Amino acid sequence: MTQAALLPFHGTLTEASTPREATASLSSLAAGDTASVVELTLEPEMAGWLRAVGIGERERVTVLRRAAFGGPIHVRTSSGGEFALHRALAASVLIRRIVPSREPPP
């Protein structure tokens, strides 16, 4: 089993307007859900750090697990990185849900 890096939250959340295409935050996704990152609503230093580790705009993320009792959210990026994000940090990642196609394979 792959171990995920635990990404701590040491920043301050800032107010930001929600883009029309963002429907939710990463913290609202259930295990198995996939989404595309639309915006990081964090101070520039913290947003830059998240981008540097691979969680930035246009990145696709899949929630692998949600820890009980408000614990971290374990995600995998489309580039293959796995991270456990503090829920407050995940709440600052605005996403657009990706709904899987219901069409049967050819």
Q: Read off the pLDDT of residues 13-52 as tens digits, 9 standing for 90 and up.
A: 433 344 444 579 999 999 999 999 999 999 999 999 999 9
Q: How many whole angstroms separate alpha carbon 102 and alpha carbon 79?
A: 25
Q: Residue 72: is it exposed, middle or buried by C-beta count within 10 angstroms (0-12/13-18/19+)?
A: buried
pLDDT of residue 105: 61
Q: Is the pLDDT of residue 1 over 70?
A: no
Q: Where are the domains of the chain?
A: 26-98
What mean pLDDT is predicted for residues 83-101?
A: 89
pTM: 0.74
Paired tokens of 38: 């639309």
Q: Which fold has domain 26-98?
A: SH3 type barrels. (2.30.30)
Which of 63, 37, 35, 68 lies closest to 50, judged by CA? Answer: 37
Q: Is the pLDDT of residue 97 over 80?
A: yes
